[in-house]
Structure 1
């Protein structure tokens, strides 16, 4: 596969991941609220619905791993995206909880096929790009915050069911992206068996489950504390979470350069210590603003740790990328399930809340002490091995001609870099935004002008419904522009990547 095809394949993987991850996260956020308020489900039925999807996904993931080692991974991931999309359709059409159970089965099956096959597909390019999983994680983060912005601003117009239809559309596009890719059948008959691979990866899988347990448990603790402790609404809770999701978007790629400098075990240990500090500090945070800042720091820690774990598992897998990713996904799901169950069990009283926070911190701290031994037992390198490009003697004259030609074409390259300058692009976005809002202000429909100089407005006006359709469009545009500004500022502060 030539370099252009490899780059296109990586871009397809990241686009498909962004399209699927965002709706999945939104569904996890909205589903309990929708099932309880509009389908009249009891708390036990809501719990059974979530448990059913988790159980199905847990059972199917090892099977998906075996399939991903025998068939084209792109086609398998596309099939998973189709099933995922059908689950959103079922939710959108569900008249009662019974159909929602069927949607949960489809979602669990589709999610398992999609993520196992896609991560195995990404792992194929690890030798050429040791930061492949960091880029994938960043794409998932981008898809998450974009989906949250779209869903939470559109839900007042199209209701929960309309948001589910949007999720189905996004999954359909992800399937089309993967089906348009050039097929690459995989038949690894000589690959290790599932049980043999599980024994080899067991130490790392324990660490993966521990990280997933902490991430899911702490996230649920934060969600419940914002809803019940601080009495925040849907949009206000999302405003606390979205900055952390933005960190997922632009930080993993830069953190991979840090991994190259200090090593995998140090980064994993530091990330666990930072997450432990967040979990312990969660019980003392005085207000949602402090919680938002702490969640950003915790998100940065997970953005460093999770791609490293995925890369370690992929490198240790050898020929069994599909099976390894199936086991990895199962371990992560098991840890997340235990984390969420434990968080829900302990949250309820002031004492239980603090026990849950300090329990998560203690687990993370204990994990930080065993990271080095775990990675060594798995048998992968401490530092990612950068792809080395060798040039034969026959290629040297051609390489020299290319270098000379590139020097002559320098003005074109400079012009291309100028067009790709993120600060310049942001300035164009800002100019268009300001001019459009000035025109809308003269007509009396500028949302930022009304938000600052009008009012007073309640929280629903800012997050759900602002009145005239032009005001609502202006609200969405303002949120997107603010996120664009944060994204651009983050990239500018990080500077050029050290690799």
Structure 2
């Protein structure tokens, strides 16, 4: 066992924070890149597609190689290099004045994304011995990064400040690199008892088939949903993001709670029920009458992802035979293959059967994927239920024979209700002081709405015209504080009911 594994509870917060810092920019880039290329670069539809395909294809092809590098070198350092490259690509988009520079940024981003996500997930997998729910924590951290990233991006986009959005995202990626570089370097070397890429691929193949098929459908439906909200309901970019926002918050809140469900019913039942529920959601989307219903259905879909994604990643890690980097690289290649094929297949379904035909077709494929899950997991050969003792996972990272195993870290102390209240009070005081300062400078979002400067609908939709960026910052702070308050006081109410 590497020292970093033995200190998993102390190390993993930096790695999880880095994941959140990078996931927000990644999702925002996927959302805004077609809009930016068309509006700012004057790109044609074909050029926009080529730009997106360049980054996706390089990231797809680079993931197996990134897995090999992650098994040879310190994973945190490999991930840091990826974060730096991804950040540089975002700065490239911010400074681009022609499509040539944009394509260069896409190349840099594709390579950086492959290095970052493969190495980071492999590093997270090292902590499975200490924390069997670590991939649920990872998804929760990524979900937090997504919804905060979208709030910031939508505020900066009030005046079409694409350059500022990309630059801010680039800074977040560089901060992620700093966090990863601050983690201790692993000592003791890599074990030689690692499976090669072909062995890992052969063992994971049944899972990869299910992942590739279902991710193709999920990415395709996501793209069609964006187009349907824009063209079918005439929503703006800010309004579309608000439809998706509850789902992103669910990705933050539910993964750890759903891990208890996995322990109770098993991995096969969790994946199967998640896919069946996603199929029901797809059928519901076909007949959804308004964006509110679509937002509710999308939230259900996010709950399915919150249950399924950590299970898939944990199975891939356990089945990697000591080669976590290779396992994560192959698994993510299957997922990204779905991201590339999804829009193409969804477009064909949409042209042949329209919106409803595409949704029903997607549901049929998801049900077929659900039927394959039990047999696929049996063929991979991992336990259906996570081990009761985290230390029971013995093949995740083979330890060098000469290396001594340090004692396991003590369990993390849960914060008491008094400490939760004290911390929230401090944050509330800082928030109030900040909002008073914004109001004194004439940039308070609350004051602008209360005075009638903007209607509540305009303010919620992000339609603030030529408002200064400080007004948007005031709004973001308020939303984050409200979410934080709801989360904190919900925990306090649970403490009270349980008599703790």
Task: Say if 1:228 and 1:494 are closer, same or farther in 2 by CA, change over 3 A.
Answer: farther
Q: Does 1:380 align with 2:382?
A: yes
CA distance in 2, matches of 1:63, 1:94: 29
**Aligned with residue 307 of structure 1, among 290, 307, 310:** 310
Give the deviation of 1:37 after TM superposition: 0.5
**Which residue of structure 2 aligns with residue 65 of structure 1?**
67
**Aligned with residue 284 of structure 2, among 261, 281, 285:** 281
CA distance in 2, matches of 1:286, 1:203: 38
**Which residue of structure 2 aligns with residue 417 of structure 1?**
416
Q: Does 1:474 align with 2:477?
A: no
Give the deviation of 1:472 after TM superposition: 3.7
Q: What are the within-5 Å matches in structure 2 for residues 32-43 of structure 1?
A: 32-43=34-45
Task: Say if 1:40 and 1:191 are closer, same or farther in 2 by CA, change over 3 A.
Answer: same
**Which residue of structure 2 aligns with residue 484 of structure 1?**
484
CA distance in 2, matches of 1:443, 1:194: 59
Give the deviation of 1:281 after TM superposition: 0.8
CA distance in 2, matches of 1:450, 1:121: 46
**Which residue of structure 2 aligns with residue 239 of structure 1?**
242
CA distance in 2, matches of 1:439, 1:118: 39
Q: Does 1:88 align with 2:90?
A: yes
State whether residues 5 and 126 of structure 2, in contact with CA within 8 Å, keep that contact through their aligned partners in structure 1.
no
Give the deviation of 1:317 after TM superposition: 0.8
CA distance in 1, matches of 2:425, 2:158: 31
- Residues 459-468 or 51-60, more deviating: 459-468
Per-residue CA deviations over 1:339-370 (Å, capped at 9, x if unaligned) read: 12222343368x42112111111111111122
Task: Say if 1:218 and 1:488 are closer, same or farther in 2 by CA, change over 3 A.
Answer: farther
Count residues with an aligned counterpart.
475
CA distance in 1, matches of 2:22, 2:222: 20
Q: Does 1:262 align with 2:265?
A: yes
Per-residue CA deviations over 1:457-492 (Å, capped at 9, x if unaligned) read: 496554042646664443223322333345446657
State whether residues 260 and 383 of structure 1, in contact with CA within 8 Å, keep that contact through their aligned partners in structure 2.
yes
Task: Say if 1:457 and 1:312 are closer, same or farther in 2 by CA, change over 3 A.
Answer: same
Give the deviation of 1:134 after TM superposition: 0.6
CA distance in 1, matches of 2:424, 2:242: 22
State whether residues 131 and 390 of structure 2, in contact with CA within 8 Å, keep that contact through their aligned partners in structure 1.
no
State whether residues 70 and 188 of structure 1, in contact with CA within 8 Å, keep that contact through their aligned partners in structure 2.
no
**Which residue of structure 2 aligns with residue 271 of structure 1?**
274
- Extract unaligned runs of 5+ from structure 1: 391-398, 407-412
State whether residues 80 and 111 of structure 1, in contact with CA within 8 Å, keep that contact through their aligned partners in structure 2.
yes
SS of 2:107's equivalent in the other structure is: helix
- Residues 311-320 or 449-458, more deviating: 449-458
CA distance in 1, matches of 2:382, 2:186: 27
**Which residue of structure 2 aligns with residue 448 of structure 1?**
446
SS of 1:286's equivalent in the other structure is: coil
SS of 2:254's equivalent in the other structure is: helix
State whether residues 217 and 343 of structure 1, in contact with CA within 8 Å, keep that contact through their aligned partners in structure 2.
yes
**Which residue of structure 2 aligns with residue 465 of structure 1?**
464
CA RMSD in angstroms comes to 3.0
CA distance in 2, matches of 1:200, 1:145: 35
**Which residue of structure 2 aligns with residue 100 of structure 1?**
102
State whether residues 250 and 491 of structure 1, in contact with CA within 8 Å, keep that contact through their aligned partners in structure 2.
no
Q: Which has the higher contact order (CA 8 A, sep 6+)?
A: 2
State whether residues 448 and 454 of structure 2, in contact with CA within 8 Å, keep that contact through their aligned partners in structure 1.
no
Task: Say if 1:196 and 1:237 are closer, same or farther in 2 by CA, change over 3 A.
Answer: same
Q: Does 1:177 align with 2:179?
A: yes
Give the deviation of 1:46 after TM superposition: 0.3
State whether residues 212 and 335 of structure 1, in contact with CA within 8 Å, keep that contact through their aligned partners in structure 2.
yes
Give the deviation of 1:68 after TM superposition: 1.1
**Which residue of structure 1 aligns with residue 400 of structure 2?**
none
Give the deviation of 1:179 after TM superposition: 1.0
Per-residue CA deviations over 1:29-66 (Å, capped at 9, x if unaligned) read: 11110110110100000000111111111111111111
Per-residue CA deviations over 1:158-205 (Å, capped at 9, x if unaligned) read: 811111111111111111111111112653433222112211111011
**Which residue of structure 2 aligns with residue 393 of structure 1?**
none
State whether residues 279 and 363 of structure 2, in contact with CA within 8 Å, keep that contact through their aligned partners in structure 1.
yes
**Which residue of structure 2 aligns with residue 191 of structure 1?**
194
SS of 1:362's equivalent in the other structure is: helix
CA distance in 2, matches of 1:469, 1:22: 19
State whether residues 132 and 390 of structure 2, in contact with CA within 8 Å, keep that contact through their aligned partners in structure 1.
no
CA distance in 2, matches of 1:494, 1:375: 36
**Aligned with residue 294 of structure 1, among 294, 297, 318:** 297
State whether residues 55 and 110 of structure 2, in contact with CA within 8 Å, keep that contact through their aligned partners in structure 1.
yes
Q: State TM-score, norm by structure 1.
A: 0.87
CA distance in 2, matches of 1:158, 1:51: 24
